[in-house]
Copies of this chain bind each other. A is one copy, B any other.
Amino acid sequence: MTINIAIDCMGGDCGVSVTVPAAIHFIESHPDAHVILVGKTELIKNVLEKSPHDEERLSVVNADEVISMEEGPAQALRTKKNSSMRIAVNLIKDGNADACVSAGNTGALMAISRFVLKMLPGIERPAIASFLPTHTSQVCMLDLGANVDCSAEHLFQFAVMGSCLVSSSGGCSFPTIGLLNVGVEDSKGNEVVKEASQLLKQSSLNFKGNVEGTDIYKGTTDVIVCDGFVGNVALKTSEGLAQMLGKYLKEEFHRNLLTKVLGVLASPVINHFKKRVDHRRYNGASLLGLRGIVVKSHGSADVYGMGFALQRAYEEVKHGMLEAITSNIQVPEQKEL
C-alpha cells in the first residue's frame, strides 16, 4: 500500500527550499511513500529541476495563496481558501492524501484542519502532541498549546489519544500515563487535575498517577498529560534553557586560545553530545483528535528536521493511529453505562 503525504510547501520560515528537498529525501528512504507537493507550482518546480528525483512518487498540486505566520486563524480560515495549507488539508478530506505536514502558522493549521476534517467521534477538543527525549528513551507530551483552558474530561481524552499515539508509533502496546501536577500526592493540584486523576484511575488506561515537571525528562511515564497552557510553557521553557546552556558551553570554549584548543580537541565528544540532544530529531507535532493525520513541523525546521515531521505522519498512517483512537475513545462512554 502506498502512503500518500501532502506537504504544505509554502509553510515555515524557508518554504520550498526546505520542504521540496525534504520530500525528495523522504521518498528515497521510503519506497512505499508518495509525497504531494502543495504550493506555487513554479517555485516548487524550480527546486525539483535542480535535484534528481523519482517523478512517479512526487506530484505537484498548485496553490496560489500563502498563509503568513502572523495571520489570525479565523482570518486565514475565511479568506485563504486557495492557500497551500488549506489545499493540503483538503487533499486528506477528498481521499487523495493519507496525511498532511505543514511548517506554517499553527493556529491556522489547527483551525483549517478542524473545519475541513472535523473531529473524531467522541473527541471534544483537538490536542497538540509531541515526543521529547528522556534519560532513557522518549516521552509523548500533550497538550502543547491547542487548549489554554481544559476540563477534566478533556485531559482524560488527551490521555487516550496520547496512549494511542505511543502504541501506534512503534512504542509499547500499553503505555504508562502520568498527569502533570505540582506534586505526586493526590491532594496536590487544582480541581481540574484532581478530577482528571479520578477519571484516569477509573479507566482501563495504564495510569501511573501524578508526575511533576522533573519527571518529563526522567521518562517516568510514556505519556504525560497536561492542559495546553502548562504544556506550551513547559516546552518553550525547555527550549529556552537548552539554548542558554548551549550558549554558555560555547562561550566557555571560546574564552581564550587555550579553551579554543581544548574545544577543538573535545569536539568529537561535544558533537556527539549535540547530536544526541538535537531537537530536530523530535520535530513534528501531531494534531490529534481530527478525522485525519496532520503533523505540524517547527517553522524554523531545516531539511533534516522536516524529514522527521514527514516520518511522524508516515508512521501514524502506517500504524493506524486514527483507527486506534476511534476504537479507544469509547472507553469513557462504556464506563458511564
- The distance from the CB of A73 to the nearest CB of chain B, in whole angstroms, is 10
Which one of A23-31, A207-215, A280-288, A307-315 is at the interface? Answer: A207-215
A176-202, CB < 8 A from B: 180, 182, 187-191
Chain A 237-249 interface 0/1 with B at a Cβ cutoff of 8 Å (1 = within)? 1111111110111
**Chain B: CB-nearest residue to A235:** B213
- The distance from the CB of A190 to the nearest CB of chain B, in whole angstroms, is 4
The reply to whether B252 and A262 contact each other, CB–CB distance below 8 Å, is no
The reply to whether A233 and B213 contact each other, CB–CB distance below 8 Å, is yes
Chain B residues closer than 8 Å to A268, beta-carbon distance? 259, 262
A331 within 8 A of B: no
The reply to whether A135 and B218 contact each other, CB–CB distance below 8 Å, is no
The reply to whether A148 and B189 contact each other, CB–CB distance below 8 Å, is yes
Q: Which of B190, B214, B236, B255 contacts A213 (CB 8 A)?
A: B236
Q: How many residues of A contact B (CB 8 A)?
A: 57
A242-279, CB < 8 A from B: 242-245, 247-249, 252-253, 255, 259, 262-263, 265-266, 268-270, 272-273, 276-277
Q: Which of B135, B182, B263, B265 contacts A229 (CB 8 A)?
A: B182
Chain B residues closer than 8 Å to A266, beta-carbon distance? 262-263, 265-266, 269
Bound-state Cα–Cα, A218 to B263, Å: 25
Bound-state Cα–Cα, A180 to B292, Å: 32
- The distance from the CB of A257 to the nearest CB of chain B, in whole angstroms, is 12
A228 within 8 A of B: yes
A217 within 8 A of B: yes
Bound-state Cα–Cα, A255 to B273, Å: 11
Bound-state Cα–Cα, A54 to B98, Å: 76
**Chain B: CB-nearest residue to A272:** B252
Bound-state Cα–Cα, A135 to B228, Å: 26
The reply to whether A262 and B259 contact each other, CB–CB distance below 8 Å, is no
Bound-state Cα–Cα, A226 to B182, Å: 14
- The distance from the CB of A260 to the nearest CB of chain B, in whole angstroms, is 10
Q: Which of B134, B189, B218, B249 contacts A273 (CB 8 A)?
A: B249
Bound-state Cα–Cα, A239 to B241, Å: 10
The reply to whether A214 and B234 contact each other, CB–CB distance below 8 Å, is no
The reply to whether B135 and A277 contact each other, CB–CB distance below 8 Å, is no
The reply to whether B259 and A269 contact each other, CB–CB distance below 8 Å, is yes
A322 within 8 A of B: no
Bound-state Cα–Cα, A266 to B261, Å: 9
8 smallest beta-carbon distances between A and B, as pairs = A213-B236, A213-B237, A214-B240, A217-B240, A217-B244, A266-B266, A182-B232, A148-B190
> 16 A-B residue contacts at CB 8 Å?
A145-B182, A149-B191, A182-B228, A182-B232, A189-B229, A213-B234, A214-B239, A214-B243, A218-B240, A226-B233, A233-B234, A234-B234, A241-B241, A248-B276, A259-B269, A262-B268
